[in-house]
């Protein structure tokens, strides 16, 4: 393919991805209340664990925040719903440069990417209550946590994105092994540096910055690193 053909192909894939996000956002707009209730649930769990009489609701003093919150959450949810199509379009764009043997991994690539992103989002939502409890205990018992929609949902979305994208780490490693960029012996040789890099990256990019969330991200990433070595050996054989 010429450069112009590549650019036209890229434009086509981007248009399809944008349309998928818009359709997903339209669906999420009508499911907004259900999505919001689901994301606020960790906050409600923290209140119930403290036997608080405080109502489980986000509070705002800005009338416009009610609108912007719905738009932001709708777009994020639309992107999440369209993620399988986006990953498929990405794979279809890079497949012309691959050998026939490598193209067979299209479906496993998309399915595994979806699985690990969803798994990362699940882990993020499970660790969020621990982060909120850490903030509450750190601030003291005389300070009540009353969250506004913007900061709270920003934290939740960042946690989901960081964990979801971070859990794509094994998919990336295995893909690099399959195309010959990485070797299993290199990964074994770099194990010590990988531990330091994973812990440092987790500490820097964990949005909540609490120790529990950091280790909840770092430990799975290191296990994924070891798993990528095992999978690489299997594929090599």
Please, what is the end-to-end C-alpha distance for the chain in angstroms? 34
Query: pLDDT by residue (tens digit) across 140-159?
Result: 666 677 788 888 888 888 89
Q: What is the pTM of this model?
A: 0.80
DSSP per-residue string spanning 28-89: HHHTHHHHHHHHHHHHHHHHHHTT--S------S-HHHHHHHHHHHHHHHHHHHHHHHHHHH
**Helix, strand, coil distribution of the chain in percent, nearest 5:** 80, 0, 20
What's the pLDDT at 137? 74
Cα(209)–Cα(27) distance, integer angstroms: 33
Instruction: For the chain, 237 residues long, give each residue's pLDDT as a single digit of tens.
Output: 677 777 888 888 899 999 999 999 999 999 998 998 888 888 888 777 766 667 777 888 778 888 888 888 999 899 888 888 887 888 778 777 767 766 677 778 778 888 898 899 999 988 888 888 887 776 666 667 778 888 888 888 889 989 988 998 888 888 888 777 778 888 888 888 888 999 998 888 888 777 888 888 899 999 998 888 888 788 776
Cα(143)–Cα(58) distance, integer angstroms: 16
């Amino acid at each position: 393919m010429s450069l112009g053909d590549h650019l036209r192909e890229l434009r086509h894939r981007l248009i399809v991805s944008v349309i998928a996000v818009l359709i997903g956002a339209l669906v999420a707009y009508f499911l907004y209340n259900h999505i919001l209730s689901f994301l606020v649930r960790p906050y409600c769990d923290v209140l119930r664990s403290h036997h608080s009489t405080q109502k489980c609701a986000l509070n705002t003093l800005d009338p416009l925040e009610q609108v912007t919150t719905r738009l932001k959450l709708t777009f994020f949810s639309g992107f999440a719903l369209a993620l399988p199509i986006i990953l498929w379009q990405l794979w279809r764009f890079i497949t012309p440069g691959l050998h026939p043997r490598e193209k067979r991994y299209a479906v496993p690539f998309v399915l595994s990417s979806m699985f690990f992103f969803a798994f990362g989002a699940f882990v993020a939502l499970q660790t969020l209550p621990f982060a909120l409890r850490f903030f509450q205990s750190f601030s003291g018992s005389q300070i009540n946590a009353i969250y506004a929609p913007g900061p709270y949902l920003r934290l939740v979305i960042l946690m989901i994105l960081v964990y979801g994208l971070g859990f794509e780490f094994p998919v990336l490693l295995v893909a690099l092994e399959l195309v010959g960029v990485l070797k299993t012996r290199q990964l074994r040789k770099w194990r010590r540096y990988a531990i330091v890099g994973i812990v440092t990256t987790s500490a820097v990019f964990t949005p909540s910055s609490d120790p529990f969330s950091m280790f909840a991200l770092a430990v799975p990433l290191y296990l994924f690193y070891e798993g990528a070595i095992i999978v690489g050996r299997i594929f090599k054989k």
